[in-house]
């Protein structure tokens, strides 16, 4: 059984009211025409009143259908907020964002990168990583991409911007989508000055409508200043692009820190500890040779020759 989202329901209601208005107008006119031919005054007046009532109802149905077409869908979204994880609730469809799809004409920003044409193509290296077996829906639509360094629990951007100062850290590109075929391949390509520097591609498993994002987490010293562009594809069909700018010099805090720490070579104090040879003053203990006083003592024993005269 086909599922109807909010937009389809509104369209169906508008069509029903339009058909009802036309039929009511025809029946009212028919009552007026036939009522004039009735010879009895009471019946003629009753028939005429019924005819005018039907015509008034038809005239009221026309503006009612117009108001339903223009305001019913946004009014529903005031009370029903889409959830990106609910795959079975067609109410998640952000059909109001479909009206924003003419902003896809922002593709002239692609002219900032000379190597990218006005209609981006999926590189062969990315297409070679496709694993999905579900055909993409050609009617899938995406809203413009909004960039931010953080998102909340509902995948909404926090402090979105078009320009970021180094160090950037992690960056998110958020968007809303509708009529996505679950299981089809989707890809997000990140370009820097026309050069493909990062991409994501996988089967889509997040529902038919709601919010989504693509993110890139780089070290602070890897964000190069310049113009970046993100392109979203469903299958091999390009859907939307967005761009932002990174300004400021590349953060080099970590390399300089390691450079200053290289003086740890000064910890080669162990060679200076070779001062242990200064302990060789133990050789000064060689005053033992000065104890050669003993030979002087033997000299005092030489008086023995004085005993010879006694012989």
Between CA 226 and CA 145 the distance in angstroms is: 18
Of the pLDDT bands very low, low, confident and very high (cuts 50, 70, 90), residue 307 is very low
- Two structure tokens written together for 15: 């069509």
- Two structure tokens written together for 248: 């400021």
pTM for the full model? 0.45
Average pLDDT on 15-42 reads 86
Asked whether residue 280 carries a pLDDT value surpassing 90, the answer given is no
In this predicted structure, what is the pLDDT of residue 30?
Answer: 87
Average pLDDT on 107-113 reads 49
Give me the CATH code for the 95-247 domain, please. 2.60.40.2550
Between CA 115 and CA 121 the distance in angstroms is: 11
In this predicted structure, what is the pLDDT of residue 241?
Answer: 95
* Pairing verdict, β 170-178 and 210-217: antiparallel
In this predicted structure, what is the pLDDT of residue 137?
Answer: 92
CB-CB contact of 102 with 17 (8 Å):
no
Asked whether residue 107 carries a pLDDT value surpassing 60, the answer given is no
What are the helix (H) ranges across 68-107? 73-79, 95-98
Between CA 103 and CA 101 the distance in angstroms is: 5
Average pLDDT on 162-182 reads 92
In this predicted structure, what is the pLDDT of residue 98?
Answer: 54
In this predicted structure, what is the pLDDT of residue 237?
Answer: 92
In this predicted structure, what is the pLDDT of residue 296?
Answer: 46
Q: pLDDT per residue over 67-87, tens digit each?
A: 888 887 777 777 776 555 444
CB-CB contact of 263 with 165 (8 Å):
no
Asked whether residue 114 carries a pLDDT value surpassing 60, the answer given is no
Give 3-state DSSP helix, strand, coil % of the chain, rounded to 5: 45, 20, 30
Between CA 204 and CA 181 the distance in angstroms is: 8
* Pairing verdict, β 146-148 and 185-192: unpaired
In this predicted structure, what is the pLDDT of residue 130?
Answer: 93
Q: pLDDT per residue over 188-219, tens digit each?
A: 999 999 999 999 999 998 889 999 999 999 88
Residues, the chain, total?
Answer: 311
């Amino acid at each position: 059984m086909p599922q109807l989202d909010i937009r389809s329901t509104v369209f169906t209601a508008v069509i029903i009211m339009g058909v009802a208005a036309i039929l009511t107008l025809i029946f009212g006119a028919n009552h007026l025409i036939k009522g004039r031919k009735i010879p009895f005054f009471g019946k003629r007046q009753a028939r005429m009143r019924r005819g005018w009532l039907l015509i008034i109802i038809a005239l009221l149905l026309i503006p009612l259908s117009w108001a339903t077409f223009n305001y019913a869908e946004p009014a529903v979204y005031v009370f029903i907020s889409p959830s990106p994880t609910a795959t079975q609730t067609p109410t998640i469809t952000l059909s109001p964002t479909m009206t924003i799809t003419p902003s896809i004409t922002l593709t002239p920003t692609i002219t900032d990168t000379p190597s990218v044409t006005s209609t981006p193509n999926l590189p062969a290296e990315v297409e070679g990583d496709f694993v999905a077996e579900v055909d993409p829906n050609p009617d899938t639509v995406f809203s413009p991409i909004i960039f931010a360094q953080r998102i909340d629990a509902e995948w909404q951007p926090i402090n979105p911007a078009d320009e970021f100062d180094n160090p950037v850290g992690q960056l998110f590109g958020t968007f809303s989508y509708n009529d996505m075929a679950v299981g089809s391949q989707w890809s997000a390509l990140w370009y820097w000055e026309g050069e493909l520097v990062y991409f994501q591609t996988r089967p889509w498993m997040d529902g038919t409508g709601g919010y989504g994002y693509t993110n890139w987490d780089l070290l602070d010293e890897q964000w190069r200043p310049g113009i970046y562009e993100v392109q979203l594809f469903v299958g091999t069909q390009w859907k939307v692009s967005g761009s932002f700018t990174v300004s400021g010099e590349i953060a080099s805090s970590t390399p300089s820190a390691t450079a200053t720490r290289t003086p740890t070579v000064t910890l080669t104090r162990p060679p200076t500890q070779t001062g242990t040879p200064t302990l060789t003053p133990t050789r000064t203990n060689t005053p033992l040779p000065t104890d050669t006083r003993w030979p002087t003592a033997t000299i005092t024993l030489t008086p023995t020759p004085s005993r010879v005269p006694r012989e």
